[in-house]
Amino acid sequence: MHLILASREDEASMSMAGRLLETVDFRNYTGYDGVLAHGNFLFSFIDVKHLFLENFDQLFGSLRENISDVIFLSRHSSKADIKSLTVHPTGNFNGALLGGREKRLSMSDPGKMTATMRAMNQIYTGSTFSVTFEATHHGPLLDIPNFFIEIGTTEAQWKDTDALDTVVQSIMAPVTQRLPSYVGAGGGHYMPKVTRYAMENDVDVGHMISKHALEEINESMFLQSIEKTPNCKGFIVDRKGVKSQAKQLISSVCDQFGLEVILV
């Protein structure tokens, strides 16, 4: 079952949760206090910010074995005030300033995450928000597949009805395809070329490494990004957004394990 989590410490998360519970018939899940259910979806609140969730197994106990993946409802912050609807995996390629562990990646959720982004792109018909991936960049650290879905970037956007409805409908949309998964590499934080390629082709994307992160990681982190991207077939690489040294390292890793490199 898909578990949707909202943080009481996150205003946008609470707005998203409110709209979800207003429009979808979630009911008490028998035997588990504070957990609601609708079809193959579960919902619950947490009291800490998602980034710093450390006790997932303790919170959900025996329910853990029934959870296929976790979807975090969250705010998105942007210094440039970029209004966006985003999805991204969790983990840290370097330090752990925003939760998780240094140089540790969570298990990504390529199928559900990419399908959710595509659904948002189809459902949202306005002009205020951009629908996009974000690179992997913060906690929490979980061994169960998970991703964040976010609305950015101020209170006005967090309460925007069109944005809230787009998020809710996209999460609840069924995933009917099982597509090959790839690690995205290169470009800025919003991974524009990787986002566009995933929108237009039959691929799913798991972990994503921005150009900035590529400058500091080594082969072991590339291997971890593959391991933590289920059904990984290779890398989708922004050919102009990756320096030659990183590009050579990606090529070497892919040759070693028989993986594909798609240049975009």
Q: In the chain, what are the helix, strand and coil shares in percent, each to the nearest 5?
A: 35, 25, 40
pLDDT class of 42 with cuts at 50, 70, 90: very high
Claim: this prediction has a pTM higher than 0.85? yes
**Per-residue pLDDT at 82:** 83
Separation of alpha carbons 53 and 70, rounded Å = 12
Angle, alpha carbons 76-80-82 (nearest 5°): 50
**Whole-number Å distance between alpha carbons of 184 and 211:** 10
State the pLDDT at residue 147. Answer: 98
3-state secondary structure of 147: strand
Q: What pLDDT digit, counting tens, does each position of 57-87 carry? A: 999 999 999 999 999 999 987 676 789 999 9
pLDDT at 155: 84
Residue 233 lies in domain: 2-263
Q: Would you place residue 1 in the very low, low, confident or very high pLDDT band (cuts 50, 70, 90)?
A: very high
Instruction: Specify the pLDDT at position 86.
Output: 97
What are the C-alpha distances in Å from 188 to residues 96, 149, 208, 243?
20, 18, 10, 13
The sign of the CA dihedral 10, 15, 16, 17 is positive
- Cis status, amide bond into 140, omega within 30 of 0: yes
Mean pLDDT for the chain overall:
95
The model's pLDDT over 208-243, given as tens digits with 9 standing for 90+, comes to 999 999 988 999 999 999 999 999 999 999 999 999
Q: Categorize the per-residue pLDDT at 255 as very low, low, confident or very high, splitting at 50, 70 and 90.
A: very high
Distance separating alpha carbons of residues 263 and 247, to the nearest angstrom: 10
Q: Which two tokens stand for residue 98?
A: 């925003």
Tell me the sheet residues that pair with 146.
70
- Please, which contacts does 14-22 make with residues 24 or more away whose CB atoms are closer than 8 Å? 15/151, 15/158, 15/159, 15/164, 16/73, 16/149, 16/151, 16/158, 16/164, 16/167, 16/168, 17/43, 17/45, 17/73, 19/161, 19/164, 19/165, 19/167, 19/168, 20/73, 20/168, 20/171
- DSSP code for 65: G
Say what the pLDDT of residue 138 is: 95
Residue 125 sits in a domain whose CATH number is 3.40.630.50
The pLDDT of residue 174? 81
Is residue 251's pLDDT more than 80?
yes
Average pLDDT (141-153) is: 95
CB-count exposure of residue 52 (10 Å: 0-12, 13-18, 19+): middle
Question: Backbone phi, then psi, for 54, in 5-degree steps?
Answer: -115, -20
Summarize the confidence of residues 240-262 as an average pLDDT. 95
259: which DSSP letter? -
pLDDT above 80 (res 99): yes
**Which pLDDT value is given to residue 104?**
97
- In the chain the beta strands, taken as DSSP E runs, fall at 2-7, 27-28, 36-38, 41-46, 69-76, 84-88, 130-133, 146-152, 181-185, 204-209, 232-237, 260-263
Task: Report how many domains make up the chain.
Answer: 1
